[in-house]
């Protein structure tokens, strides 16, 4: 079987890397891919982005399964396009992807179906948003209502920060985010205390199958300081997700979401990522939904997965996830993101990358924002690489990943030096 992965980031590199190991898979293509997938002799990049052109290419080349990595193609309806022509594709439809593409849709859905989440209000009028912050006080969270590549959330510890975020998102709209009805809109919600975890499942419209637990580090700097980013590193498993928390997440968040989407006439298929806040008293609240695997959580999760990923995802496209079990490496996987100068707001591109190590069975450098420029690999995005390693415990996996990271060089390279600290 031939498989296509749509996307060009670190998540897609990790998915393609795991899919090529699946027995029965003869070739894996990545559209558009990056310099890391290009240098892998077992992967082939395809320079097509348009959903119709991709669908036609899939038909012409006999692709048996397509896996969608990032959120933008989902929001643009790539799954609807493929399904309309009888093609096997793993991902949610355009309507179902609103769980991620519209924070307002997601919050209203959770409220309607009793999924635990933070108290919130939605605003498109800046004056009303400012008045709400004045009434509620800080800390408080301001979210852009739309796709913002992981940079549309401001956890404001002061009212001044919240007011600045409102002006940035609504008046200036510097993120360039438009919600599903056009224009700029924000969701403002209560600040939740606790520890965050990434809870990612596979869905087939009826059944959900949980992946290994993971936890990422959103802030740019050590000790969770600095601005929010798309994620500066992650590890799996996440000790904070105890068996009791796992059960609560499934029973209180995932299954009610699947039932609710089906009841609303929008069955949910694909990866579903619930960003959870686990409160000090052991309750679970949903911070957000993503309609795809997390990045950088995918990299350590794929390092630990032993099952045939292609067969698992094919079963999901057929509504047969209840017949599937997953096999995991008991070791810990930890990934460290190497980011470009100026990330997250103004990342620099074009810096030459040197010192990339050879791939090994227990350590991989997954490419995200990279490109090939005249035979040299250069930076081409904010998060450039994710150095991921397996170890018998967090300390060993972390030591291995950082040793590799320290050998890689590009001008302005920045990375956190404390990934995994919560688990130590």
* Percent of the chain clearing pLDDT 90 (strictly above): 86
Give the β-pairing of 2-7 and 27-32: parallel
- Strands of the 43-45 sheet, one edge to the other: 43-45, 27-32, 2-7, 63-68, 89-90
Please give the pLDDT value at position 174: 59
Please give the pLDDT value at position 179: 57
Burial (CB count <10 Å: 0-12, 13-18, 19+), residue 122 = buried
CA distance 217 to 200: 16
CA distance 89 to 63: 10
For residues 285-314, average pLDDT: 96
Ranked by mean pLDDT, which of 97-106, 189-198, 329-338 comes out on top? 329-338
User: What is the pTM assigned to this prediction?
Assistant: 0.91
pLDDT of 302 over the 80 cut: yes
Q: What is the DSSP letter of 159?
A: H
pLDDT of 240 over the 90 cut: yes
**Span 367-400, pLDDT tens digits:** 999 999 999 999 999 999 999 999 999 999 999 9
Burial (CB count <10 Å: 0-12, 13-18, 19+), residue 251 = exposed
**Span 149-187, pLDDT tens digits:** 555 788 899 999 999 999 988 887 655 555 556 678 888
Q: Which band of pLDDT confidence, cut at 50, 70 and 90, is reported for residue 194?
A: very high
> Tokens in use for 231?
């994620």
Burial (CB count <10 Å: 0-12, 13-18, 19+), residue 243 = exposed
Q: Which band of pLDDT confidence, cut at 50, 70 and 90, is reported for residue 147?
A: low
Please give the pLDDT value at position 170: 85
């Amino acid at each position: 079987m031939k498989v296509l992965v749509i996307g060009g980031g670190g998540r897609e590199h990790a998915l393609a890397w795991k899919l090529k190991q699946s027995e029965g898979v003869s070739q894996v293509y990545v559209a558009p891919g990056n310099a890391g997938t290009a240098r892998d002799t077992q992967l082939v990049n395809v320079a097509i982005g348009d959903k119709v052109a991709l669908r036609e290419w899939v038909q012409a080349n006999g692709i048996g399964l397509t896996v969608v990595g990032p959120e933008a193609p989902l929001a643009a309806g790539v799954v609807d396009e493929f399904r309309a022509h009888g093609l096997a594709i793993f991902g949610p439809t355009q309507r179902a992807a609103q769980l991620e593409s519209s924070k307002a849709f997601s919050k209203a859905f959770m409220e309607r179906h009793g999924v635990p989440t933070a108290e919130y209000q939605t605003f498109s009028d800046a004056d009303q948003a400012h008045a709400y912050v004045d009434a509620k006080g800080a800390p408080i969270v301001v979210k852009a209502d739309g796709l913002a590549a992981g940079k549309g959330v401001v956890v404001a510890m002061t009212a001044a920060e919240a007011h600045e975020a409102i002006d940035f998102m609504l008046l200036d709209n510097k993120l360039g985010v438009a919600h599903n009805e056009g224009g700029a809109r924000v969701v403002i919600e209560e600040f939740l205390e606790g520890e965050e975890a990434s809870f990612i499942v596979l869905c087939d419209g009826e059944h959900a199958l949980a992946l290994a637990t993971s936890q990422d580090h959103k802030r740019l700097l050590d000790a969770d300081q600095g601005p929010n980013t798309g994620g500066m590193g992650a590890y799996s498993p996440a000790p904070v997700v105890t068996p009791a928390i796992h059960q609560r997440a499934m029973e209180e968040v995932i299954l009610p979401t699947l039932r609710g989407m089906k009841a609303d006439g929008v069955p949910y298929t694909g990866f579903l990522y619930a960003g959870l806040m686990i409160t000090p008293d052991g309750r679970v609240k949903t911070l957000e939904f993503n309609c795809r695997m997390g990045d950088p959580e995918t990299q350590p999760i794929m390092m630990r997965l032993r099952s045939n990923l292609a067969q698992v995802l094919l079963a999901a496209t057929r509504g047969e996830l209840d017949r599937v079990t997953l096999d995991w490496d008991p070791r810990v996987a930890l990934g460290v993101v190497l980011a470009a100068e100026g990330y997250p707001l103004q990342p620099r591109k074009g810096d030459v990358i040197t010192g990339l190590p050879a791939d090994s069975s227990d350590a991989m450098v997954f490419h995200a924002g990279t490109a090939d420029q005249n035979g040299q690999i250069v930076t081409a995005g904010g998060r450039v690489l994710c150095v991921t390693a397996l170890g018998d415990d967090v300390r060993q996996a972390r030591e291995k990943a950082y040793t590799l990271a320290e050998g890689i060089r590009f001008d302005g390279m920045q990375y956190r030096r404390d990934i995994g600290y919560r688990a130590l």
